[in-house]
Structure 1
């Protein structure tokens, strides 16, 4: 039956406790959740309005300000200060490198070769002297230290050490035997005084008491904790279902309230503003444009045209004055004789292709 119910998707039958708990819990949760959902939706709408009207323009203004105050000065400094300074430093570094290379090749290398030759010769001399000194020191150490130490080790220290080892082994055997006897005695004493009473207490006291406590704990778990847990699980499940249902209902209520407030705001604020813009501001703007702005723009264009003509006339006068001054100071310029091409040297289609083209004959 359970498999058939699960396969068909039907819910199992509910008890009286579930039915008695569900409706009060849903009512209480709905009363508590509706203000929270309305406040949440209001915060969401306010956050979106703040993002679109304040934060985005502020971010764009900050971006433009950062670009103007930071990026543009940095680019200018990099292009017109750091790049020339870096190129100058690279040029100086190259010249200094060339100078150092010349000093290394012409000065330091010969000095190094001479120092190397002197050190090699000095090393050979010191090696010979050191070898002689080491040979003499080795002979002295051998006959003054090594030979007496070997004799002392062979004929004095070795016999004394062997005697001490034999004595130590005997003493260790005696101490081992004494410690074994003492350990056996202590083991039997601890067993009689502690182990056997502890085993009796564990077997005849603690084990029955533990079994009784386990039996009581199982009964408490089976007959008290399990029913209480099931009841709490039913209450928790119903509270969770009630929260979900109340959240959805509160969302619908919040949507209706938001639409009502939007409609009221539209008819009280948006529509009057739109009517004023269409019926009042637009005609006034058109009138101002036709009566003030366009004549002002036309006058500004005429002033600009007159100014350009005046500047052009001034430039022509200045150019003519300069020409007159050059003629008065330097005289008339000499005419340049231009050489006209001879008819035989002119390039035609026949000379370019290297063959003559006969004129067409009329039939």
Structure 2
């Protein structure tokens, strides 16, 4: 049967044709499959303007996955008519414009992935999506190119995203400051993976590590995802919040390719489970905190291309990192860069060891020896003057015993 004739299966509930070579458009006959619960056409060659397809007849539709295709146009507003929807993936397509405000009516929506499109207006998008109270996974990476990220509560709001556990905003080239409201998202999974409630939560759709690769590693359970903060390749500025150290179970902190500045906070060393720390290509200054040697699980580390200075810590995991982890910092020094440190440059360095040449040792010895004998004989001279007979015999007997 031809794909365009799929509507003949009017009682079809689950359509799974992902990772094939299907091309053309969504069949108009698909509208006859009003009992559809799952529609998965991910990783194909389908195209056309997605907003022209009417999804309103799919009242039972719970999962729609059209990721990794060639759909264009705007976000299909008729998807909001599918009130039973729990998961939507439209990532890696050619969608443009803003998300339709009708998405706020999807109260059961738990998973939304729109990464790698050309969507716009991050502020309105987050405002609309904050009304989806059951939303737990939100992937918006590689959208909203070069937009300014609001710093106030307009981005998240005091009551927004109360159940959000996974948030991706990487590769958007955002400018502005890191929104402080992100720290209010208490359910983000930078928490203990052993928590029972997390272990039992399966993702409605798998999260792909490399979406453009059909054989890429995928995660089907939220607890298997390493607790991560990944904000690389944006235009964030300002400093890293001191409270970052409270995310005790964080495994990955990736802030590379931004405009963060100031000193690297010592509280990062409190992230005892950290496995990857990438602060490269920023404007950090000051020294690398020597307390970072306490990060015993750190296997990947880079502060390359910043304005750091001083001695690179040694010992612990720092003895395993290559020189490329520190390059591009003209003020850094240490054996790994084969660059010596001036004595005054680093407060992290140990005080220089005091070595004394043999000539200096014997010179000081004879000076001290002569001075001590001088004091001794002067003292004895005074004693002899005061008690010439008794003291004389005591002094003589003392010297002969020595």
Could you say which TM-score interval applies, normalised by the shorter chain? under 0.3
Higher strand share: 2
Between the two structures, name the one with larger relative contact order (CA 8 Å, sep ≥ 6).
Answer: 1
Larger Rg: 1
Instruction: Normalising by structure 1, report the TM-score.
Output: 0.22
Higher helix share: 1
